[in-house]
């Protein structure tokens, strides 16, 4: 009978891809793998929930890495991977130490930088106090307008749409603008979901400008739809961070620093080295896709170590739970079966971040996080936000 070899597997990085990989390795490795989790932080924080926190939502779930590692039978090393010596199968740590490995999963994430000094960078829980202040400024007329901006090069725009809808629900007399480089609202989900989101924004009274190459004026009080304008005034500007690759010494990368990977999340030219998540050259930087990429990595890794399941290549399915502050919308883009949008869950558990191992694990630890908010009446919600129940948009088969 085939048995998994007791490989030393290092998971570098504690974001969605890293925790998905750790959970999956424990399961697929049949408890035989010697796992080590390396991350510089103390807590795993589910960052996508931070959008709702300034509007009265619960704080983002936070779990100590030491507890997670102990639960999964792994060693926890609080440090950051500095470089990889693949020929020796060794990772160098910032703190000066080294870790040998038989297989390595790089889930180190990307390097974030601000779109513009005048803009509030919404990058998760750290931005919650500033968004609370923005809500107060709009509510008490200290600001009359806010622009939610999706700059050129940002591939995951959904949080800006959530902020736009939640701010509109809280500050109905203020001007809420959404300026995006996308060709259409949330175009990555396909034609029908994009159209449904556009209609939702129009009913809510959000002013939308897509196909832009946004730029900020010198005084930080206006947004240009391109370098030459036209210009739209805004008292406040909010944007997601721009991302650069990790540029790890010893690991190949493209011109922007991102790690290239194949369909099994293998890093070309490096034996038994895998990468998943925002630090790779995957086109869309999103938690659910990061988890799917991690799944491809661990399926291939454990198969090489003697596991029973064969490798399963990365076939991205984009899922997004759009929080509006009232009724959540569930969006899905699947190249194989088509697109869908619904105001009830399209997947179970109905997590904000969908991972094969991560979502059920989080649903067990935080059951309230994985169910839609149906504790309010649809009639009053629809009247307040100007939204109507979508029902189901028929799928459009992939062509």
Taking the C-alpha atoms of residue 132 and residue 125, their distance in angstroms, rounded to an integer, is 11
What pLDDT score was predicted for residue 4? 82
What pLDDT score was predicted for residue 5? 86
In residues, how long is the chain? Answer: 399
- What Cα–Cα distance (Å) separates residue 358 from each residue in 50, 218, 352, 354, 383? 18, 44, 11, 7, 36
Range in 93-102, 336-345, 381-390 with the lowest mean pLDDT: 381-390
What confidence category does residue 390 fall into, taking pLDDT thresholds of 50, 70 and 90? very low
What pLDDT score was predicted for residue 257? 97
| CATH 3.50.50.60 corresponds to the domain 8-110+245-304 | yes
pTM over 0.85: yes
Q: Dihedral of CA 254/256/260/263: which sign?
A: negative
State yes or no: pLDDT of 396 exceeds 70: no
Taking the C-alpha atoms of residue 153 and residue 107, their distance in angstroms, rounded to an integer, is 21
Taking the C-alpha atoms of residue 135 and residue 161, their distance in angstroms, rounded to an integer, is 15
Taking the C-alpha atoms of residue 246 and residue 303, their distance in angstroms, rounded to an integer, is 28
Contacts of 131 (CB under 8 A, 6+ apart): 54, 120, 122, 163, 238
Give, as one character, the DSSP assignment of residue 126. G
Taking the C-alpha atoms of residue 51 and residue 181, their distance in angstroms, rounded to an integer, is 21
Q: Dihedral of CA 254/276/42/48: which sign?
A: positive
Give, as one character, the DSSP assignment of residue 168. H
| CATH 1.10.580.10 corresponds to the domain 113-242+317-385 | no
What pLDDT score was predicted for residue 368? 53
Residue with tokens 């922007």: 256
Going by their DSSP bridges, the two strands 8-12 and 34-39 should be labelled as parallel
Residue with tokens 């630090």: 279
Contacts of 84 (CB under 8 A, 6+ apart): 90, 91, 92, 104, 106, 248, 249, 250, 251, 270, 273
The per-residue pLDDT for range 263-284, each reduced to its tens digit, is: 999 999 999 999 999 999 999 9
Tokens standing for residue 265: 């999340």
Give, as one character, the DSSP assignment of residue 176. E
Determine the 3-state secondary structure of 91 from DSSP: strand
Across the chain, mean pLDDT equals: 90
Select the more confidently predicted residue: 373 or 105: 105
Taking the C-alpha atoms of residue 135 and residue 155, their distance in angstroms, rounded to an integer, is 26
The per-residue pLDDT for range 134-193, each reduced to its tens digit, is: 999 999 999 999 999 999 999 999 999 999 999 999 998 999 999 999 999 999 999 999
Taking the C-alpha atoms of residue 294 and residue 224, their distance in angstroms, rounded to an integer, is 38
String of DSSP letters for 106-140:
E----EEE-S-TTSEE--SGGGHHHHHHHHHHHHT
CB-CB contact of 73 with 26 (8 Å) = yes
Kindly list the domain boundaries of the chain, sorted by start residue. 8-110+245-304, 113-242+317-385
Taking the C-alpha atoms of residue 146 and residue 367, their distance in angstroms, rounded to an integer, is 34
CB-CB contact of 272 with 304 (8 Å) = yes
Dihedral pair phi/psi, residue 328, rounded to 5°: -70, 150
Across the range 347-376, mean pLDDT stands at 73
The per-residue pLDDT for range 310-344, each reduced to its tens digit, is: 999 999 999 999 999 889 999 999 999 899 999 98
Taking the C-alpha atoms of residue 298 and residue 139, their distance in angstroms, rounded to an integer, is 48
What confidence category does residue 367 fall into, taking pLDDT thresholds of 50, 70 and 90? low
Tokens standing for residue 240: 């997601």
What confidence category does residue 351 fall into, taking pLDDT thresholds of 50, 70 and 90? confident
Start-to-end CA distance of the chain, whole Å, equals 43
For Cα atoms 65, 288, 305, give the angle at the middle one, nearest 5 degrees.
Answer: 65
Taking the C-alpha atoms of residue 292 and residue 354, their distance in angstroms, rounded to an integer, is 9
């Amino acid at each position: 009978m085939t048995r998994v070899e007791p490989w030393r597997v290092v998971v570098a990085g504690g974001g969605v891809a890293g925790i998905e990989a750790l959970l999956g390795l424990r399961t697929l490795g049949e408890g035989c793998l010697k796992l080590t989790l390396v991350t510089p932080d103390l807590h795993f924080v589910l960052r996508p929930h931070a959008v709702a926190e300034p509007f009265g939502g619960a704080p983002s779930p936070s779990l100590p890495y030491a507890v997670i590692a102990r639960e999964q039978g792994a060693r926890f090393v609080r440090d950051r991977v500095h470089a990889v010596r693949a020929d020796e199968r060794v990772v160098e740590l910032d703190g000066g130490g080294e870790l040998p490995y038989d297989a390595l999963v790089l889930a180190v994430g990307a390097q974030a930088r601000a779109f513009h000094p005048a803009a509030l960078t919404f990058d998760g829980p750290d931005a919650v106090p500033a968004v609370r202040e923005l809500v107060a400024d709009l509510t008490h007329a200290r600001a009359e307008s806010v622009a939610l901006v999706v700059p050129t090069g940002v591939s995951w725009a959904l949080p800006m749409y959530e902020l736009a809808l939640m701010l509109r629900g809280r500050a109905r007399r203020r001007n809420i603008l959404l300026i995006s480089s996308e060709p259409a609202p949330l175009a990555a989900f396909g034609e029908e979901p994009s159209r449904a989101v556009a209609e939702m924004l129009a009913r809510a009274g959000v002013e939308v400008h897509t196909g832009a190459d946004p730029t900020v004026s010198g005084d930080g009080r206006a947004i240009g739809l391109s370098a030459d304008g036209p210009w739209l005034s805004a008292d406040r500007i909010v944007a997601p961070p721009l991302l650069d690759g990790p540029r790890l010494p010893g690991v190949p990368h493209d011109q922007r620093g991102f790690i290239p990977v194949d369909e099994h999340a293998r890093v070309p030219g490096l034996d038994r080295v895998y990468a998943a998540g925002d630090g790779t050259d995957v086109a869309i930087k999103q938690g659910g896709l990061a988890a799917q990429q991690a799944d491809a990595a661990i399926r291939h890794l454990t198969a090489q170590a003697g596991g029973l399941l064969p490798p399963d290549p990365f076939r991205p399915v984009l899922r997004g739970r759009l929080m509006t502050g009232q009724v959540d919308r569930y969006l899905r883009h699947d190249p194989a079966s088509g697109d869908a949008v619904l105001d009830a869950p399209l997947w179970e558990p109905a997590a904000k971040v969908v991972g094969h191992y991560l979502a059920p694990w989080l649903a067990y630890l935080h059951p309230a996080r994985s169910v839609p908010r149906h504790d309010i009446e649809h009639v009053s919600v629809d009247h307040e936000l100007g939204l109507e129940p979508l029902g189901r948009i028929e799928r459009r088969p992939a062509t």
